[in-house]
Amino acid sequence: MESLNPFIDTRLLVIKIGSALLVDPDTGQLRSDWLSALSSDISAIRKSGVKTVLVSSGAIALGRTRLGLIGKKLTLPEKQACAAAGQSLLTQAYETALNTYDINTAQILLTLNDTENRRRWLNARATIGALLELGVIPIINENDTVATDEIRYGDNDRLAARAAQMLGADTLILLSDIDGLYTSDPRNNSQARHLNLIEHIDNDILEMGGTANAKTGMGTGGMATKLAAAQIATQAGCYMCIMDGRENAPITRLVNGERCSWFKASHNPKDARRQWIGGHLNAKGLLTIDSGAEKALENGKSLLAAGVVGADGSFEKGDTVQIMSQSGREIARGLISYNAEETRKILGKSTVQIAEILGYDYGAALIHRDNLVMSL
């Protein structure tokens, strides 16, 4: 298959490193040999002219060890304390390992708002872009210390995909403790089949990710979040790979053909603004629409209030909402032109009734087609 050798075809590579690779789950100690071998991989990639960004977990795991909390169930403030104590160790570890190869590193801590607010997104993009131009390797993590549940990613898979999308990366590699996507969970099903290549992410593929948590649609860092990451990355024209990165020198092994799952980049990436809307992680509301509206959206039309049968959540004008079918399938995401209270008053009503009911209108469409992105 084409374009799968990161050393040859990629200009900008994002590598996501899971906690279990960097920190020994039993001892809580940094896996220094593994990190040295990864640094050698990164140095080789760099010499071949590929820019690299790392998204690394491990702050909480290292902080646990530092603060004597290994094996303890942590409260949210304790987790945040561990993240604060561990993040400096994490940065130090990368700095030491990469400096051996004369590579400078820089720490970037992002919160969900940095990618969900367009201005902050553009700002973060400019900073990371400048670092790359200066030959520095940015090391991104979530700013766990200040992020509370409602405003956090919680997993670095989607954070890495948003970063790849933000930077226009060609390839995203998720280094994990599983060698890719299986038709069902291989831990419970011996018949589960490994998939080498996923050309298109459809509902069948999404179901292979397992049952999702009802509120966010995610289990932290599981296959569901990896598939959500794959959707964001591939729609941005970026190839994504899930591989088992536990053994030393995973990137060298990947180039040498180690088994993994590749997700093919879309040949027609959505424009930058649509990618940003479609990849939004914190939809503020949920609209349920009837089958007529579903057809209209499929034909590229705007969403009118008449086709909406339900509106949940508290959202403001301009927020991102999910648009669901009556059977509960996500159809699209979009930036809504009315707030939640207004939407509940006008749903099911024809366009001419909007001004009568509200005393004003912001246009005929509840969500204009320019602000809509289909989900699959």
- Write the interaction track for ligand GLU spanning residues 6-45; mark x where CB under 6 A is met and - where it is not: -------------x--------------------------
Q: Nearest distance from residue 84's CB to ligand GLU, in Å?
A: 11
> Could you tell me which stretch among 38-46, 52-60, 233-241, 307-315 binds ligand GLU (CB under 6 A)?
52-60
Beta partners for 13?
52, 171
> Please, what is the angle between helix 156-167 and helix 223-235, to 10°?
10
Given a contact cutoff of 8 angstroms between Cβ atoms, the answer to whether 324 and 286 are in contact is yes
How far apart, in whole angstroms, are the C-alpha atoms of residue 217 and residue 211?
Answer: 8
**Total site size for ligand GLU, rule CB under 6 A:** 13
Among 58, 180, 222, 334, binds ligand GLU (CB under 6 A): 58
DSSP secondary structure string, 152-204? ---SHHHHHHHHHHHHT-SEEEEEESS-SEESS-TTT-TT--EESEESS--HH
For CA atoms 178, 184, 189, 194, the dihedral sign is negative
**Near ligand GLU in 202-221, by CB under 6 A:** 221
When asked if residue 143 is in the footprint of ligand GLU (CB under 6 A), the reply is no
**Among 41, 114, 116, 144, interactor with ligand GLU by CB under 6 A:** 144
**Binding of ligand GLU at residue 222 (CB under 6 A)?**
no
If we measure between CA atoms, which residue out of 9, 11, 104, 89 comes closest to residue 56? 89
Residue 20 CA to residue 272 CA, distance in Å, equals 33
Beta strands in 73-117 (DSSP E): 105-110
x-marked contacts with ligand GLU along 68-87 as a string, rule CB under 6 A: ---------------x----
Q: What is residue 189's DSSP assignment?
A: -
Q: Is 142 in the site for ligand GLU (CB under 6 A)?
A: yes
| DSSP code for 315 | -
CB of 192 to ligand GLU, least distance (A): 23
- Site stretch for ligand GLU (CB under 6 A), options 64-72, 103-111, 141-149, 315-323: 141-149
59 near ligand GLU, judged by CB under 6 A: yes
Q: Is 65 in the site for ligand GLU (CB under 6 A)?
A: no
Least distance from C-beta 144 to ligand GLU, angstroms?
5
| Token pair in block for residue 323 | 């648009």
